[in-house]
Amino acid sequence: MHRRTKENLVLFLFSVGLLGWLIPGAGYFLLKEKKRALIVFVTITLTFAIGIYVGSIGVIDYVRSWPWFIGQIMNSPMVIMLGKLTAGGSYRVYGKPAEIGQIYTAISGLLNLLCIVNAVYLAYVGEVETAEIKK
């Protein structure tokens, strides 16, 4: 592995973070951590899917339940598209299913945020270690 310049390192860390946001687990995939990437992708996608299955896609609503939307948006930019589709209560959502759906979708988003931060940290640590070995 060649040593990156400071600008390249920042770009690399940014791309790890961005990819991890675009597709859950993809940040790890870029670091060649394939098992970790697969586990994160399957778990986060499934948790998010359970949330919208239980509560309907109406649980994603940046107009009426924007605090939940902050957590949900961490899943992927796809949530913004879903949010535009469901804004203002175009889909039925109520009661306990709405509660459970919002909790599942927001928690899966926060878990993805944890993975993004961890992937960026691993990328940084990996680069620093590589640089120290080369010295």
Residue 29, interface with other proteins (CB under 8 A)? no
Residue 21, interface with other proteins (CB under 8 A)? no
Residue 94, interface with other proteins (CB under 8 A)? yes
Query: Which residues does 75 contact at the CB level (< 8 Å), separation at least 6?
Result: 24, 44, 48, 105, 108, 109, 112
96-125 residues near other proteins, rule: CB under 8 A: 96-98, 100-101, 103-104, 107-108, 111, 114-115, 118
Determine the angle formed by the axes of helices 95-134 and 6-22, rounding to 10 degrees: 160
By the 8 A CB rule, do 40 and 21 touch?
A: no
CB of 96 to other proteins, least distance (A): 5
d(CA 35, CA 52): 26
Q: By the criterion CB under 8 A, which residues form the site for other proteins?
A: 35-36, 39-40, 43-44, 46-47, 50, 52-58, 91-98, 100-101, 103-104, 107-108, 111, 114-115, 118
